[in-house]
A and B are shown apart, each in its own frame.
Chain A
Amino acid sequence: MAEITLSGITKRFGPITALDDVSLTVPDGAFVVLLGPTGAGKTTLLRLVSGLDQPDAGRVQIGGQDVSTATPAQRNVAMVFQQYSLYPHLTVRQNLEFPLKSPLLRLPPEQIARKVGEVAEVLQITHKLDNKATALSGGEMQRVSIGRALVRNPAAYLMDEPLSSLDAKLRADLRIELKRIQHDMGATFLYVTHDQIEAMTMATHVGVLDHGRLVQFGPPRQIYEDPVSIHAASRLGQPRINILPATLFGPAPAGAAHIGLRPEQIRQGEGEDSFVRRVEHLGDQTRLHLSFHNHDLITVTDAHTGLKSGDIVRIRPEKPLYFDASGARIHQE
């Protein structure tokens, strides 16, 4: 396991700058989650670390070694692709054995069989081992593709939305399993997801990408509670942070153009009247769609709320976040 350091990485595809001067350190044994909307450059970043693509500028170091000119094999990283590309001409078992049979490792057969068995067990695909890789459901393919990474013991695991097409239960199981691997074996992870729970529960650090730039990097709670911009604040939180004109609830700090309110920053039962447009019972939370001075906002409320659409509820901001016109955070003294 090893530390990964990116310094000043820039990657262009023709006119598009997919990554713009990104510097980032994934500490040894850390679980770094990359967040960002589609097209932000998350996959590109993983590909540059793996060596599948070369940056236009900047350096990649793995375990203190400059690997900028090293081949993917020499970098010794395992990767789970966003398009989980299983080898279609091989069975599930052969897919899982493939990395272990590489000239890099040359493991003895009984060790390969043991390792494949273990991983299949963890991923709950033991009964599919002799299936053709093409004869699997999407979720099964995704697990095999995770398995192909987990059979190895690489310098780092790179995973691109690895749990995206699994059902909730399996996703929860695998979240715990990946976290266990990181924790027990000190594995280093660089992990892309859009999933709030994955980011909050698994990450030791979160990196927020916006149009190819790394705009914030830190522990998940810090990203959540102390975002540097509207963009960063919007990456975490279900429902999303409400962005409203700064003076909607009264005076705002100098330069503020927007006020940001997460559900827990909206005190209910105090302040001014708002109109309940809709009540959504999602099971684990109950959402209120409110209308306040002709602005829409969404918050959560008590599961057994008696509120229904058409009601009036009073709300007041509590410790809100303020942003300037460009979306950057304004810190109050």
Chain B
Amino acid sequence: MSYSITEPSRAQKWMAGILVVAYAVITLLPLIWIIATGFKSPSDSIAYPPKLFFTPTLEGYVNLFTTRTRQTAEFLAANPPQTWYQEIVAKYGMVIAGPSRFGERFLNSVIIGFGSTFLSVFLGTLAAYAFSRFKVPLKDDLLFFILSTRMMPPIAVAIPIFLMFRQLGLSDTHLGMILLYTAVNLSLAVWLLKGFIDEIPREYEEAALIDGYTRFQAFRKVVLPQAATGIASTAIFCLIFAWNEYAFAVLLTSGNAQTAPPFIPTIIGVGGQDWPAVAAGATLFLLPVMVFTILLRKHLLRGITFGAVRK
């Protein structure tokens, strides 16, 4: 008996290990830099060579969430800081004037990102199921058409969309952005999900139909649970696109529905180059996608279930 796969040698294992670690360091370095800078003071953040060890401070986060004004020494003496964050800004001779817009923008990102992800996955699953199971007239042409919407960069149609949105009153609205991101994501969602649903044998639904369920109930009770892996990975892809999208957000939103990506760079402008605040914003911005991915990891890792259909 012969095996084509041989146990790697010691040296090969070491090589592989070194490569993986090197790759991890290279990819994680910017991330670590961002997270670390978020906890530096402004002077530490621009120190050269970059400081590996520093006294962590929440200044960046305070600056991110607040707007501040400079005050005279007398005013500061008369109104001593009440809280830890007032204390931080007082060191620079400032008082907190109010909250910044970061919270709002972040919330916009959450609404638009998750809203469009939900809609893309919801519509995508229904469409993928129909394409996978039913005789749809012109099925191949339709599928190709859906895919072709992804063949050019979405921003290529920026001007017509800009005009359309203005005409329809969708400019700078949550609904407009949700619809736009859904439209962009839908082709990816349909194709990804169709692949997953094609893999689920029809016999399960047929068994459910015989067991007294309607087509839709069979879909919900039998197909959806087995498509969970596909739905989870599709949702992550959709969220990553919608969450990170910058160009349309700059073009179509300015206030009410502005998302975090176009907002974060504007932080720099507020009172000099406030790198810790920018880094803090970027760090917080990374969190939702990370948390979402970790939450769905169970479904991603849970392989497709084989074995209950006799081939």
Point out residues on A near B: beta carbons under 8 Å: 50-52, 71-73, 76-79, 81-89, 98-99, 102-105, 133-134, 138, 141, 148, 152, 165
From B70-78, B105-113, B257-265, B300-308, give the one contacting chain A: B300-308
The answer for the CA separation of A105 and B211 in the assembled complex, in Å, is 10
Residues from chain A with Cβ under 8 Å of B209 in the complex: 51-52, 71-73
Contact between B310 and A84 (Cβ–Cβ < 8 Å)?
yes
Residue in A closest to B225 when the chains form the complex, CB atoms = A89
How far apart sit A79 and B65, CA to CA, in the bound complex (Å)?
A: 63
Q: Report, as a range, how many residues of chain B touch the other chain.
A: 20 to 34
Q: With A81-B203, A98-B211 given, is the CB distance from A103 to B217 under 8 Å?
A: yes
Name 24 interchain pairs, CB-CB below 8 A, sorted by A: A50-B210, A52-B210, A72-B210, A73-B209, A73-B212, A73-B213, A73-B214, A77-B210, A78-B210, A78-B211, A79-B207, A85-B203, A85-B308, A86-B308, A87-B208, A88-B226, A102-B213, A103-B217, A104-B212, A105-B212, A134-B306, A141-B308, A152-B211, A165-B310
- Mask, B182-200, CB within 8 Å of A = 1, is 0000000000000000000
Tell me, in angstroms, the Cα distance from A88 to B212 when the chains sit together: 18
Closest chain A residue, CB of each to CB of B201: A85
- A83-B306 contact given A52-B210, A103-B212, A148-B211, CB 8 Å threshold: no
- Name A98's contact: one of B201, B208, B310 (CB within 8 Å): B208
Name which of A50, A89, A141 has the most chain B CB atoms within 10 A of its CB.
A89
Interface string of B94-135 (1 = CB under 8 A from A): 000000000000000000000000000000000000000000
Question: Nearest Cβ distance between residue B204 and chain A, in whole angstroms?
Answer: 5
- Chain B residue with Cβ nearest A105: B212
The verdict on B222 contacting chain A, using a C-beta distance below 8 Å, is yes
**In the complex, what residues of B have CB within 8 A of residue A141's CB?**
308, 310
Whether A88 contacts B307 by the Cβ 8 Å rule is yes
Q: How far is the CA of A196 from the CA of B100 in the complex (A)?
A: 83
Say whether B207 contacts A85, CB under 8 Å. Answer: yes
Is A89 in contact with B310, judged by CB distance below 8 angstroms? no
In whole angstroms, what is the CA distance A76 to B209 when docked? 10
Interchain nearest-CB distance for B240 vs A (Å): 27
Give B29 Cβ to nearest chain A Cβ, in Å: 41
Q: Enumerate chain B residues within 8 angstroms of A98, measured Cβ to Cβ.
A: 208, 211
B308 contacts across to A, CB distance below 8 A: 85-88, 133-134, 141
Cα–Cα, bound, A148→B226 (Å): 20
Tell me whether B305 and A81 are in contact (CB under 8 A): no
CB distance from B229 to the nearest CB of A (A): 11
Is A83 touching B211 in the complex (CB atoms < 8 A)?
no
| Complex: A86 Cα to B305 Cα, angstroms | 11
Chain A residues contacting B201 (CB-CB under 8 Å) are 83, 85
CB neighbours (8 Å) of B207 from chain A are 79, 81, 85, 87, 148
**A52 with B306: CB separation less than 8 A:** no
> Taking CB as reference atom, which chain B residue is nearest A142?
B310
Closest to A77 in B: B210
Which residue of A82, A88, A89, A141 has the most chain B CB atoms within 10 A of its CB atom?
A88
Q: Which among B201, B203, B206, B306 has the highest number of chain A CB atoms within 10 Å?
A: B206
Supposing A102-B212, A103-B212, A103-B213 touch, asked if A81 and B307 sit within 8 A by C-beta, the answer is: no
Q: Cα distance A141–B310 when bound, in Å? A: 9
Contact with A along B283-311 (1 / 0, CB 8 A): 00000000000000000000001111111
Whose C-beta in chain B lies nearest to the C-beta of A164? B310
